[in-house]
Structure 1
Amino acid sequence: MKLDPITLRLFVAVMEESAIARAAAREHIAPSAASRRLAELEEQLQVELFTRSNRGSQPTAAAYALLNMARGVLNEMDGIATQMRDYAQGGEQGLRGHVRVMANISSITQFLPAQLQSFMNQHPHVDVRLQERVSTDIARAVADNEADIGLLNRGSYGSRVTLRPYRCDRLAVVVPQSHPLARKRSLKLEQVVEHDLIGMHADSALNHLITRSAADQGLQPRLRMKVTGYDALCLMVAAGLGLGILPEGSARIYMGTLPLHCIRLDESWADRQLMLCVRSQDSLSPVAQLLAEHLCQPDEPLKNI
């Protein structure tokens, strides 16, 4: 059996795009050639990957199983290319490889810069590929072998992933310096929702947490607008358009540059646990295992940034 990477990449593209035409365009191949390659792949594997009808093609259970394996194979092949390129450029010493990391915005803005800086200082030939996603997407991506390591909010994500404690953070309220609440040392949620709020996008774990907690207390937040990042949230708050709730560590980034005050949110649910997520420890490459252990070590200060 000869499985070539071009066909495997095409297969992954078809699964991700849910259409042969879009997948063919993504992989720069004619749709007719793409269909032929998929048929040849089924013939080689002696299994039906798609059920075809006049309404299109639907992946079979075998296709979903192959998707996970194909992503792993292609990831390893990319790793080979990366390491050999380093050797071709004259490098000889040190750990080599690449790791795919997906993290939520709270992890990225509070903890990852210092941790990745220290890790890559120790291992300059390791290629860390980082993407920001929401927690549910991160867990799915790790389970489906789209990522090696995920950093997300604590939750129930099914049996296909393994979680371990990563970091704790605390939610806080940001208000304009001129706001009547700016002199408060702490705030309850009921005090906050008396004012307009700038919220995160609908899919964010933070948005779900605030909405659920408000409903539990019989409160109705007035979301004036939703944004996709903490920088946008803080800019809107500084402009006097509403109050915001975000991790205290993320809020502190903007305290020196924007006219804001950061106030403790006095709610039990404001203390959150972030988790590190993998398929299993055995599924990680040696370099991914090393990064996972590094991420779970105590914080280090960020230098020269």
Structure 2
Amino acid sequence: MHFDLADLRLFIHIGESPSLTQGARRAFLSPAAASARIKALEQQLDTRLLYRDSRGVELTPAGQKLLVHARLIMRQVDYLKADFTHLGADSAGHIRIFANTTAVTEFLPEVLAGFLAERPGVSVDLQERLSRDIVRGVLDGSTDMGIIAGPVEAAGLQVMHFSTDRLVLTVPVGHELAQCKRISLKQTLAFQHIALHEGSTLLSFLREHVERIGQGLSLRIQVSSFEAICRMVEAGVGIGIIPESAALRHSRTMRLVTIELDEPWAVRERSILVRELEALPGTVRALIATLMPTPVPD
């Protein structure tokens, strides 16, 4: 036996009203629609629930019994909503995030460390994905939020810019390119590159732009982090294109030279993607507020 919660709430409204019309009005239904729902409920229970006459409606003994159960059921539903509303404020819950390489390896670990330390009841599933998969995941509901770099073309998404980074070339001190102030991607292709692992968003992004100029990217070694790229560059193994934020941080402890990439796509806007901000659980909105430079509405 299946009960529709909307039908039970309607029955309560009618049972507490002097007429079906008034009960229907409280449920925001027409009298005809309300009557049809009650008749369907009676058929499901195989019993009469209301006496109907010109003066209004009166509950049958079966109707009185259903009214008691309906009130108990709806009260428990309200308790359930209240409990999860409290938990969902921002102190507990699960968040799934699809993000690009830079987000996963650079700034999200620090942000999430502080966020989770303050909220012991929150857990996070952080997955590195390609940009197209991040957009698709947010659109189809596979993830609560996405973090992406660069332009986003996807109808039906809310895009919130939260920071800007740029891609730069790193070379070892003394390298023949070290005196350059600016350099094009094409000029770097004469040298062997050190890059991230297969499947990383940055490597896929760079390959796309290399293919557009009709050349190939010569990879000497692929590693798992920007720190590893910088260590290889410092040792003279090759050159590497990485986010400026990572290059500046590792330059403090390594002998590296950073060169600006003379490409329009080198400046990359970081954005958070969601389907509908207001519809997200409070925990997710709290994380977004942590990332955003300005407050996000609750």
Q: TM-score, normalised by structure 2?
A: 0.60
Alpha-carbon spacing, 1:136–1:227, altered in 2? closer, same or farther (3 Å): farther
1:107-146 equivalences under 5 Å are: 107-113=103-109, 115-116=111-112, 119=115, 123-125=118-120, 127-134=122-129, 135-146=131-142
Q: 1:271 aligns with which of 258, 262, 267?
A: 267
Residue of 88, 91, 97 corresponding to 2:92? 97
Matched residue type, 2:189: V
Q: Matches of residues 228-243 of structure 1 in structure 2 within 5 Å?
A: 228-243=224-239
Higher radius of gyration, 1 or 2: 2
AA aligned opposite 2:262: D
- Aligned length, in residue pairs: 214
Q: Which secondary structure does the structure 2 equivalent of 1:194 belong to?
A: coil
> 1:114: Cα distance to partner?
5.2
Q: Report deviation, 1:249.
A: 0.3
Q: How big is each residue's C-alpha offset from its partner over 1:195-221, in whole Å with a ceiling of 9 and x where there is no partner?
A: 111123343332233223233334433
> Which of residues 179, 183, 186 is equivalent to 1:187?
183
Structure 2 counterpart of 1:286: 282
Question: How far apart are the structure 1 equivalents of 2:264 and 2:179?
Answer: 22
Residue 236 of structure 1 deviates from its aligned partner by: 2.2
Provide the C-alpha distance between the structure 2 equivalents of 1:109 and 1:286, rounded to a whole number of angstroms: 25
Q: CA deviation at 1:253?
A: 2.4
Q: Deviations over 1:39-61 (max 9, x none)?
A: xxxxxxxxxxxxxxxxxxxxxxx
In the alignment, is the contact (CA less than 8 A) between 2:151 and 2:269 conserved in 1? Answer: no
Decide whether the 8 Å contact of 2:90 with 2:284 is kept in 1. Answer: no
Structure 1 residues 236 and 294 mapped into 2: Cα distance closer, same or farther (>3 Å)?
A: same
Any stretches of 5+ residues in structure 2 without a counterpart? 3-79
Is the 1:101–1:128 Cα contact (8 Å) retained in structure 2? no
CA contact (8 A) 1:95 1:126 kept: no
**Corresponding position of 1:39:** none
**TM-score, normalised by the number of residues in structure 1:** 0.59
One-letter identity of the residue aligned with 1:271: V
Cα 1:179–1:119 change in 2 (3 A) is same
Distance 1:185 1:247, change over 3 A: same
Is contact 1:199-1:245 (8 Å) kept? yes
| Equivalent residue letter for 1:131 | L
Report the RMSD for the aligned CA atoms in angstroms. Answer: 3.4
| Runs of 4+ with >6 A deviation | none
